[in-house]
Structure 1
Amino acid sequence: MSSRPAEMGGAEMSSRCLTSLRIWQLTVAVCVCATTGDALLAAGYPQARGQRPGTLAAHFQTRPDSPFAAVQANYQAGGYPCAPQASCAPSAPYTAPETPPQPLSNTAPPAAPQYNFSNAPSGLVPSARTVAANGGYIDPAIVETQLRFRYDSAYGFNRADRAEYFYSTWTVFGGKTPPRDMGPNDNIDAQFFKLYYEQLVMDDLSLFIEAPIILNNPSGVPGPGPNTSGFGDLNAGFKWALYETDTTILTFQLKNYIAVGDPDKWLTAGHASIEPGLLFLTQPADRWTIEAELKDWIPIQGGVNPRNGRDFAGNVLSYGIGAAYAVVDNSSLSVAPVAEFVGWSVLDGQKTDYASSGRLIGPVDASGDTIVNGKFGVRIGFGKDTCDPTKQRDSIYIGYGRALTGERWYQDILRAEYRMFF
């Protein structure tokens, strides 16, 4: 028996390879000569993050003069053990060798030869993941250890407490913010500084946390109030890759929002919430990537309007799709323009409404509100990955987004981020 690092995967094999089996992360292949009983058993695991794939192979030969001896010779010379040219034609009856058995020796056996799977059929060698997440607004499906710094500057929040998705509503309507001066108005600009860290804890599973600092600049009516700043609500959760090949990833993500922002400074939604979702990433053609997401934001113990007993906070379904094309893609630099379209549909909840004069009308039904934004930017990758020099470890994204519908969270948004994979 011998073992050595090699790349192996599941399998188009010759007729002499009777079967191959994929068990979770393990691929097992059995090559056997039905006539002579010779066999080769190989078990391989795919490439883990930052590691090389590996294979353990064992060759069992029952007859020294069998046709599989040629296979063994090819195997030791660096060829693939299940070479198509091997045959299982019947051979002459087996005759025991005349050389008597040699006595056991205390001498250490010679070092096992190093085998090479470079000649293996391409179908048996899985390539490492080649697809990259280039989007700037759609959550990336890649499950990886990474660090991200993000800056957003959003202008023109006009119904900021809609479903208590971004901000809590006024106290008089069941929210956590003080009345009037610090309550939501019809024109707010805000800046968000966010630090995100994701840690791979096992293959296909990661944990993450994100902490924001928020700067609010209300300038509308009624009563703009002072500018405020401070820590906003945390979010933390996990990502689990449900399906992954070298060019396609489908990931389940669960975010948990924790209301730690100061309600007196209007830095919180005022309640906890959870957001399960599916993230998708694929590379349909060379240099092209497509990303998509579908998420459901669910408030927990949100505001309840005491005037009508209805929940002010409500479910918000979000979805998006985007595409990127790498106009430059080499070992030292990648440049990929990105176009994304992201939408939100408010399933229930309320929002504070205003007359055109700025007069406060009060809470109205927000269910059915649909918001769609167009997001356009570029991702630039640089810095070689230590495990794969063809990939960039670091990247920056710069982009602009604008509301395409009458209903909106904000009218315009600028985003810049720096992302680093480990």
Structure 2
Amino acid sequence: MDPSVVSVLGLLLCISCLLLILVWKKGFGKGKLPPGPVPLPIIGNLLQLNLKNISESLCMLAKEYGPVFSLQLGLEHVVVLHGYEAIKEALIDHGEKFNSRGPMPIFEFVTNGLGLGVSNGERWKQLRQFSIMTLRNLGMGKRSIEERIQEEAKFLVEELKKTKGLPCDSMFILGPAPCNVICSVIFQKHFEYKDKKLLHLMKLIDSEFTIVNSPWIQEKQHPQSEFTIENLIWTVNSLFRAGTESTRSTLRYGFLILLKHPEIQEKIHEEIERVIGRSRSPCMEDRNKMPYTNAVVHEIQRYTDIVPTGVPHAVSQDTQFRQYLIPKGTTIIPLLTSVLNDDEEFPNPHQFDPDHFLDESGNFKRSDYFIPFSIGKRMCLGEGLARMELFLFFTTILQNFTLKPLIDPKEIDTNPVANRLIKVPPPYKLCFLPS
């Protein structure tokens, strides 16, 4: 054999050994990790995952290794939590140890680790407390927020009427509605859907106004404080990103499902006519009187399963969890899809069925397994707002329109176009026919 080839092979062998030692020191040498598939050098278990459907791959591994198992992704160890009991035990019962945010390289690079979404430790605690307090002061969870959503729903109806019942792509119409609700919360202002220059200008003006009239501007005296302009910008950015895209995607996915199931849409129309009628706008008090519509909205969120793997967590210290010892900094994946698709809680979970949230008498049935916003202190801060938006937008639109598909409902495909970490509904067009 050529001496140069031998040298190269020897070098590769040495590098592989060093990498294996490094991996051992980072994980196996510090604790007793849960069982999992045997990793390959350098790439770990990447080849054992279907990168087009990561959540399904993780669910398959859970059948073999149990509700708590470990993977090696590259040089990093990851612990996956499968099922309600494991996720609740970690994020609720041991919440203080599992509340760190796991690595999200793209967002960390863009934000430089600033803002509420990717921060940890004291920065996260301060920003979380400030965000909760500020959102409450601005009306989150109060009647005033409901009125803003109702007003925005009227604007949305007017935009949909402009389509004149012709085929349209709902993505470009639905997007401004939840974004405008966030604007109304943060900037106390509604913007015309197509007035982009005014929207941009008002964001800048209202941001300055918010900063000047907040305790942030006293904070120069406290160099260790996390109340900085940069953290403000990225915290607001997180609210816009999370509060707009997830609601829009759920609405679009929900309309697609209703196009495929016209019988469900008909039942919603009947309930709206019986409870609300045409003379007034839907309100949150109606939800308790509309168990079927409420069940459909919940089932849309469960079935669409927008973020199946959840947002990554990490343990903030060496953590004893069940019979395992998880080293500090280990990434934790709470597999939300395993809860939303639990076949004991939701029989035939891969079938869209509002009865998953209805009892034998037709009353709405709550479920602890309904966790599309996750659970624990790292759960979505805007859960209450999102639930309110989804109910009011769905009912207001269906009060005013009948959704009509362009093809036979049986031919409609509701499978997502991407199912790596986030599920995206396939592109489609529909007609909003005035009722």
TM superposition score category, shorter chain reference? under 0.3
> Which has a greater percent of strand?
1
- TM, length-normalised to structure 2: 0.26
> Which has a greater percent of helix?
2
Greater Rg, structure 1 or structure 2?
Answer: 1
Highest RCO, 1 vs 2 (Cα 8 Å, sep ≥ 6): 2
- TM, length-normalised to structure 1: 0.27
